[in-house]
């Protein structure tokens, strides 16, 4: 079972979008991320660098069709952090959802 | 110091995560060339069968089977529609390839049944006719099958 652990670095909205997308993929091209998330090249680069520095994302530059491509993938550490973060978010939501029931039982 | 997160903010964050997953799920598909290649191969095989040269039919069937076996394992997982993304296996589901192969086997049955019906009706090229019918089903129905798989993956 995944431990619930809130991650401030992942929680920032743009980074959460990037990590949320990468969590469902083995890897994604820089262009795919940029287009789907509606980010500029520089904004995406900046966020990927932050995630890479934290060890959450690995940047790869495979050579295909004689073109240098840039693609990103979540590392094991990044995936663990993401799953823990999602578990923490679910705990907050579940706790809020169960509050009225607890209140009714108490009266 | 840990920041307090409101349930509303947590819910919005989970929605963002869900949107990211759906963006990837939307990419679960087979490349168009697979459906067209399968359909054209099907018609070719049907035409060769109508030539009534058993050795030629056997050879063509073997070639068709070999090419499909070489291509299918990578393509029918639905994880590589675009060269820009590889969908994680647990997101694409384990059943995509199985459903595609089952559909191909079912279409082989439809081809035989349609060819027998056309032959009984006196058609000169019953297998070609049946193959064209099935080829249309492949081109039109293949993407619909993947749409069903995508809906399951989104759920």
- Note if the pTM is more than 0.80: no
Select the residue from A25, A66, A88 to test the B interface by mutation, using most B Cβ atoms within 10 A. A25
Terminal Cα-to-Cα distance of chain B (whole angstroms): 37
Contact B87 A90 (CB under 8 A): no
Mean confidence (pLDDT) of chain A: 88
List pLDDT tens digits, range A43-94.
999 999 999 999 999 999 887 666 778 999 999 999 999 999 999 999 999 9
Comparing CA positions, the residue from B115, B140, B102, B143 lying closest to residue B49 is B115
Q: Which pLDDT value is given to residue A96?
A: 83
* pLDDT for res A103: 47
Q: Do A20 and B10 touch (CB under 8 A)?
A: no
Residues of B in contact with A26 (CB under 8 A): 79, 86-89
A8–B3 CB contact, under 8 Å: yes
Got the DSSP string for A25-83? EEEEEHHHHHHHHT--HHHHHHHHHHHHHTTSEEEE--EETTEE--EEEE-HHHHHHHH
The ipTM assigned to this model is: 0.82
Interface test with A, best of B7, B150, B153 (most A CBs within 10 A): B7
């Amino acid at each position: 079972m995944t431990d619930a652990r809130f991650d401030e670095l992942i929680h920032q909205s743009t980074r959460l979008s990037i990590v949320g997308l990468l969590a469902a993929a083995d890897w994604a091209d820089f262009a795919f991320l940029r287009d789907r998330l509606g980010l500029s090249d520089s904004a995406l680069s900046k966020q990927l660098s932050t995630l890479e520095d934290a060890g959450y994302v690995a940047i790869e530059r495979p050579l295909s069709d004689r073109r240098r491509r840039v693609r990103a993938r979540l590392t094991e550490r990044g995936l663990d952090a993401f799953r823990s973060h999602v578990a923490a978010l679910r705990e907050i939501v579940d706790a809020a959802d169960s509050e009225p029931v607890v209140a009714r039982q108490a009266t | 110091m840990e920041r307090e997160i409101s349930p509303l903010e947590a819910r919005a964050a989970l929605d963002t995560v869900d949107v990211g997953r759906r963006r990837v799920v939307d990419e679960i598909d087979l490349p168009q060339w697979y459906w067209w290649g399968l359909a054209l191969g099907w018609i070719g095989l049907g035409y060769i069968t109508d030539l009534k040269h058993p050795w030629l039919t056997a050879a063509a069937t073997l070639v068709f089977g070999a090419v499909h076996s070489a291509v299918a394992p990578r393509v029918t997982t639905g994880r590589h529609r675009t060269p820009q993304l590889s969908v994680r296996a647990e997101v694409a589901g384990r059943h995509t390839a199985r459903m595609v192969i089952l559909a191909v086997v079912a279409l082989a049955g439809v081809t035989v049944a349609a060819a027998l019906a056309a032959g009984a009706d006196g058609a000169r090229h019953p297998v070609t006719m049946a193959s064209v019918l099935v080829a249309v089903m492949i081109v039109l129905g293949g993407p619909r099958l993947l749409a069903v798989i995508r809906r399951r993956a989104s759920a």
